Structure 1
Amino acid sequence: MTAAHELSITRLIDAPVAAVWRAWTEDTGAWFCPKPWTAEFVTQELVAGGRSQIVMRGPGGEENRLEGVYLEVVPQVRIVATDAFTAGWHPAGPFMVRIDSFAEEAGGTRYTATARHWTAEAKASHAAMGFEAGWNAAADQLEAIARRLASE
């Protein structure tokens, strides 16, 4: 049933896991949205139960505010977050669970970003919003930052 509600991208990033992890956790706002959109991480408590508050801004002044919690954070392995809850485990209208995985492969990092939706309709809506192009563009930006960090 999960695969029926799942969208995912994966790629081999030419940078070690430590650099990709640093790019994800330390410079999240710089890569999280495909340009020309921007993301401001107002709160990013990278621990299980920690709060996530993001404001995504579009080139025409659009704003999309997202709030959720981190369900699991295993350094250099996995980050799992959801919008099904806000801080203090208050239920919210769930859209998805996001899973970002990092694994060493061939001297680089196998990065996988997955969105698991509660319903087929939510998955279809996310796909129609441009999931594949948008999340791949964000992953391109993540890779560029990770490669820069790896060369420092």
Structure 2
Amino acid sequence: MSCSGMETVDELELVVERLMDAPVAAVWKAYTDHLNDWFCPPPWRAEVQVMELRAGGRALVTMYGPDGEVVPNDGVYLEVIPERKIVFTDAFQAGWKPAGPFMVGIFEFEPQGDKTLYRGRARHWTKDALEQHKTMGFEAGWGKVAEQWEAVAKRLA
């Protein structure tokens, strides 16, 4: 159970990688059925509003902060390969309505026996967006989320 932290794969991509101590089926189920339990680092919480887990399907997760913050994450899935890969973006909302893009997110799952090598990638349109994401705490935030995700998957395994 290690977290390699942040790497800059190219100039507009941030990556978090973690070997999760749970089989890929449990990691997948934690995403599809238990996302509210791990999506935000505390004291924030998340609530799935819409999860149409297919290419072109809508993704809407609202995050709630400790001081009354409400942050909707509205977007679409671009690619879904069960138990292997989820690609999503905030560049579009439902019905392919263009939105102010921040990133394309990619979750990759690679079976490693009874464990799962997870990679979370955030690809940005601009260097400014990448720097903003770093400043927002990408490494710590996505690392904590991966840790929480793993804990839920272990419970489900």
Whether the TM-score (by the shorter chain) exceeds 0.5 is yes
Flag structure 2 segments of 5+ consecutive residues without an equivalent.
Answer: 1-8
Identity fraction in percent:
55
* Equivalent in the alignment of 2:82: 75
User: What is the TM-score of this pair, normalised by structure 1?
Assistant: 0.95
CA contact 2:23–2:113 (8 Å) conserved in 1: no
1:90 aligns with 2:97: yes
| Residue 5 (structure 1) aligns with | 12
Runs of 4+ displaced beyond 4 Å: none
Query: Whole-Å Cα distance in 2 between the matches of residues 79 and 52 of structure 1?
Result: 11
Which residue is 2:143 aligned to?
A: 136
Distance 1:3 1:102 in 2: 20
CA positional deviation for 1:23: 0.5
Provide, for residues 72-113 of structure 1, a one-character-per-residue CA deviation record: whole Å limited to 9, x for no partner: 000000000000001111111100000000011143100011
TM-score of the two chains, using structure 2 as the length reference: 0.92
CA drift at 1:29: 1.3
For structure 1, which runs of at least 5 residues remain unmatched after alignment? none
Q: CA RMSD in A?
A: 0.9
Name the structure 2 match of 1:125.
132
1:41 is the counterpart of 2:48: yes
